[in-house]
Each structure stands twice: as structure tokens, then as C-alpha cells.
Amino acid sequence: MNRTEYNKRVRDEVEVLKHQYRNDNSAFLIWFLKNIFCLSEQESVDSVVDGSRDKGIDGIWVDENDEEIYIFQSEFSPNDDRDSGDSKIREFSGVATWFSNETEVNRLKVALINLELKERLNNLKISDKIARGYGVSYVYVTNKIFDINATEYLETTNIEPYDNNIIFGKYTYMVEADIANTPKTLELSNSTAIIYNSASDNSSIVLAIPVNQLLKLDGIQDHSLFSRNVRLWTGKTRVNKELANTIKDNSEHDKFFLYHNGVSVTCSEFDFEPANNEITISGYQVINGCQSLVSFYQNRANLSDRMLVLTKIIKVEPQSTLIQKITKNANNQNAISPKDLKSNDRVQISLQRNFFETFDNKVLYRIKRGESPIGYDDVIDIDYAGQLIKSFYFDEPYKTHLKTSFYGDEYENIFSRKMTCQKIYLTYLIHNTIIENIDKIENIPVRNYGLARFTILRIIKSIINDDELGSAIIENPNDYVIDSVKDKLSTAVKKLFELVALDINGFITDYIASVELFDYKNLFKKKEFCDRMNTAVLTSHKKSVVRHPEDSFESIFESLTTEE
């Protein structure tokens, strides 16, 4: 991706976010947190507190694993690559006073600041965390380019700077996976190698390859190189930050080979030429080493020929089942999240197969990133399925942002034997219908907030479950999610949602009038608020059905059948 393509892509994506979430600066910071810090959209939105009386603080995020508090200031220009001076950066540097100790944070909380910032400080318990020794990092983000004044001033501060040059250098993105078939020749520092030839013609070779040479491989920036890797780029984790620091320390380059665990590559062919100190590979994919290669790419200006990485290259056909076994075992030796490993377990593989069989290969249940959606009518990611199940079948929409919990102790309950592909697809159809008609919700922040949409899904489920036909469909949806019947179901849900949206709007309006700050980002994470909203809207709809029986889900659905 060249600079012009990158600038256009960023601007287009920021424009979409701006319509969903406030202004240019806020939208750009959300984009940055998603794409550079690798936070989820939910986390990114929650982190932003930009507004009047924000004391120069546009966002706050806490890395609980590293015990680090991040304070953000963003500046977005209508035009790309304009110069950015030092005046706003100097103003931002003054923010550090507020986070120098617990007392100063408490002073900030009682100062004349916007209520959203105050709630963020309270909800994250920032003063307590600073008292307990959490570190504080300050991050300045802009789509401009730092001029000489800004650059010189930044060198005197501890601010972590990101201008458009730096962001472009670190930017990676996702495209549909494709095996790289163009042969690539890598130069070696020496011809020392371990060669292994198995009886099954799956030969392999282990080499010390300069990091600069590994960056020749196609598909690092767009992540297509890692489609078989169980874990893609995870952002600013402690391990990745330490790796970046080692790369930047030139004195450590000679010892880098000793520190690094290595990279594993599968390929359809390799040709090792020891006389020329080179190897040519084709049909290649990296199955272990995404974090390292992306870190190398993002810090490529700091690399040297003295940095070598142990590289295992395995010859295996792209469609061979052996790749899955190699991938699983290669990654089991390092810290991999439960979700990464669950994506290959029998429950998820069985669910994916059942989706294919039940819906005639028209629905992809995507258990791993990199699986291409091309050719499918609908795509349901494993994370999304977990969120749908938690909202619809567990009545816990306020927990849908806790996606890592889906693959821990709750995994067997969420993805139990009773959770069929038809039940998951039912929730998908209903949630998708809500999203397609979400403009019926008048409050724009609520309309666009992910947890609010899952709360609405739970409300619609409660109403559908309140009559005989609806409860029967929820219990056994098999006949209602296939062929033309699913279209009737979606139409019935659409009509029901149009009625229920009036009650939802009324509830939100009344609630806003009763509080000083409508902190929707925090409220939709609270059981009490979500339960209260669900009960109020369900009760209101029940009263409506008494007066107008035709408003029940069963009546709406049967009227469509009659019209047909």
C-alpha cells in the first residue's frame, strides 16, 4: 500500500467513524486505537473522552497486564501531511501534572472538567492505580507531520509521538488470505543448515536468516502471510514492546539470535543453494512468528544485517492436513490465548461443518481469521457467535465486551452440545435485522454502540419468547432459519422492532432526563441498567398487546403467512 492509498483509506474510515462517534478528532483517535494499539472497537470508543473542558485529555486506556495508564491527545487535519508544530504538544505535556500522583488525580476529578472524563477517571480507578504504582504514558497522535520544532521539542519529553509518517510506517491491515506463489530468494549469512528429510516427502531445513531478508516475504503489511497462524498481530503487548526495544538497541543486534525463539514457515517448494548462501521458497506461509515479523516491519529502520533469526522452513502441500498439526504444535510451545487454540478444537470444527451442511455452503462460520468470506451469503465469526449467545440465550448483553471469557471457564456452557448452528443463525438473523433498522433508535450514540445493540437483541428475544410461537421458535428454530421462511422471520422481527423502538426511545429519553450525565458507555456494561431497560420495554409491550393483540410477535408472523 502506497502513501496515497493509505491516506485515502484512513480518511474514508475516519469519516465512517465520525458519523458514528462525534467529531474528527474523536473518530481519528478511535481509528488509531483500533489500528495501531490493536484495541477492539468497543475498547477504542470507551477510551475516548474528547470534548469541552477535557483539560487536553482526549482519551484514557489502561493496560492491566502491564499496569500502564495511557493518556492520549489527538489532532486531525482536514488535509493530509500538513506540518505540525510544537505548540499543541507543549500544551499536552502539561497534562502530566494531573497524573503525577494520587492527590493530583483527585484534584483533577473535582476540577471543572467534562462529566465523561470524570466518569472515565472514576470507572478506571485511576487515582488508586497511580497510588499502587501503575506507570503513565503520554501519547500524541496526529495525521500531520512533525516539523523541526515539534521534533526537537519531543526529544526533550517522554511523550510517545505518532505523526502520519510514524503511523504509516507501523500500519498493517487485513486482506483475504492467499498463498504467496511467487518465488522469493533469501540471502543467508552463511550456509550452515540442519536438513531433515522424512519418509513422507515432507522435508525441512533450519537456517539462521537475517531479519532484513525475512522482510522480503510478501504479505507482512496486509497480514496475508499469516493466514495459517493461530494468532495474528496483537499490538502493544509487553512482549511486543520488549521486542521493539531490543530492535532499537543496536548493541543487542549481535545477540538477537540468542534471544529469539524463531520463525516457522511452510512452503510448497524450497531450493537451498549453499554455494551461493541463499534459499528460494514458493507457496509460503508463516505459521509461527507473526508478532516478530510485524515488529520487524514496524521497526525496519532500526534493523541491521547482524540480526539473525532461527528459521524453520517446511515443505508441505498447501492443502495438507499436516499443516494444521504443525501449526498447533509449533504454537503450543509459546503463550497462545485460549481462543486461538479453541479455533481448532472439535466443537468449533463440528459447528463449522454443520453450518456448511445445513445452509448448503452459503453461511461461513469463521473460526479463524484469514478464512475467506468470498462466495458466502453470510459470515459469522466465532467471537460474534459468542456475543450473540451471551446476549440472546444467557440474557447477559452487558458481558459481550468480555470476549476472552468466552474461551475460559464459560466455554463449555456457551458452546455446549445444545448450541446448534440453527440456534446461532437464529440470533444472527435477528441481530442483523436490528442493525439494518437501527436508525429507528433516535439517540445516535446508543444507536451505534455495540453493547447497546446487544441489549436491544436481548429485549427483542424477551418479547419474542413471551408468546407461544416465539418461544417454540427459540427452542427449536430449525424450520425457521432456512429457505423462504427465514425471510418471513426477518420481516416479522423488523415489524416488531419498529414497534418496540418507540418504547426503547421513550425509556432512553426518560432516563437521560433523570441524570446529570448519560454515560451510555458505562451503563450498558451494568447488569442493573440492562435488566431495568429490558423489564421496562417488555412490560410496555405487554400492555400494548393487551390493547392491540395484533402487535404480538405471533400475530405479526402469522399475518405475514396469511398475506403470502
Domains contained in the chain, CATH given: 3-170 (3.40.1350), 184-336 (no CATH), 346-563 (no CATH)
Q: Which amino acid is at 263?
A: V
Q: Cβ(268)–Cβ(203) under 8 Å?
A: no
Q: 119-148, pLDDT tens digit by residue?
A: 899 999 999 999 999 999 999 999 999 999
According to the model, what pLDDT value does residue 178 have? Answer: 55
According to the model, what pLDDT value does residue 455 have? Answer: 98
Q: Give the closest residue to 557 by CA, choosing from 468, 427, 428.
A: 468
Low-confidence stretches of the chain (pLDDT beneath 50)? 230-231, 233, 332-336, 564
According to the model, what pLDDT value does residue 335 have? Answer: 46
Q: Cβ(548)–Cβ(555) under 8 Å?
A: no
Torsion, Cα of 204, 205, 211, 212 (10° steps) = -90
Q: Cβ(82)–Cβ(486) under 8 Å?
A: no
According to the model, what pLDDT value does residue 191 have? Answer: 78
Q: Counting Cβ atoms within 10 Å, is residue 143 exposed (0-12), middle (13-18) or buried (19+)?
A: buried
228-267 b/e with 16+ CB inside 10 Å = b?
bbbbbbebbbeebeebbebbeeeeebeebbeebebbbbbb
Q: How far apart are CA 534 and CA 460, in angstroms?
A: 9
Q: Give the closest residue to 139 by CA, choosing from 96, 203, 169.
A: 96
Q: Is the pTM of this model over 0.75?
A: no
According to the model, what pLDDT value does residue 332 have? Answer: 47
Stated length of the chain = 564
According to the model, what pLDDT value does residue 525 have? Answer: 93
According to the model, what pLDDT value does residue 149 have? Answer: 96
Q: How far apart are CA 54 and CA 44, in angstroms?
A: 17
Q: Cα dihedral sign for 363, 353, 431, 342?
A: negative
According to the model, what pLDDT value does residue 404 have? Answer: 80
According to the model, what pLDDT value does residue 203 have? Answer: 84
